[in-house]
Amino acid sequence: MQAYDTGNDENAFRDLTQEEVDCLQDLAEGSAAPGQARNGSADSRDVDGLLESAQNKLGARNRLHAVSIALRRGIVRGLTDKT
């Protein structure tokens, strides 16, 4: 499993898992059901746990803030970034 460096402040940031990045990417793309676009069998509780974990690792106040941080750091891409 690949991890993504979320920043250089070792106290505030930890590595994100691929599953967490996938859920953040789904949210960045406007998905109402993150995680399910890539894995149709994803349980909503699992997805909630992944997003909460990503939020904590990024030091975000909420999901929107987590996506914003991930976009700024290049962890995920916005719709306008797609080629």
pLDDT digits (tens, 9 = 90+) for 15-55: 999 999 999 999 999 887 776 655 555 677 889 999 999 99
Query: Does a structural domain hold residue 58?
Result: yes
Domain total in the chain = 1
pLDDT score for 49:
94
Domain of residue 30, CATH code: 1.10.10
pLDDT score for 10:
43
pLDDT score for 33:
74
pLDDT score for 4:
54
Contacts 24+ apart (CB under 8 A), 8-16: 12/59, 13/57, 13/58, 13/59, 14/57, 15/57, 16/54, 16/57, 16/58, 16/75
Query: Does a structural domain hold residue 3?
Result: no
Q: Report the pLDDT averaged over residues 72-81.
A: 85
Q: Residue 66 belongs to what domain range?
A: 10-34+43-81
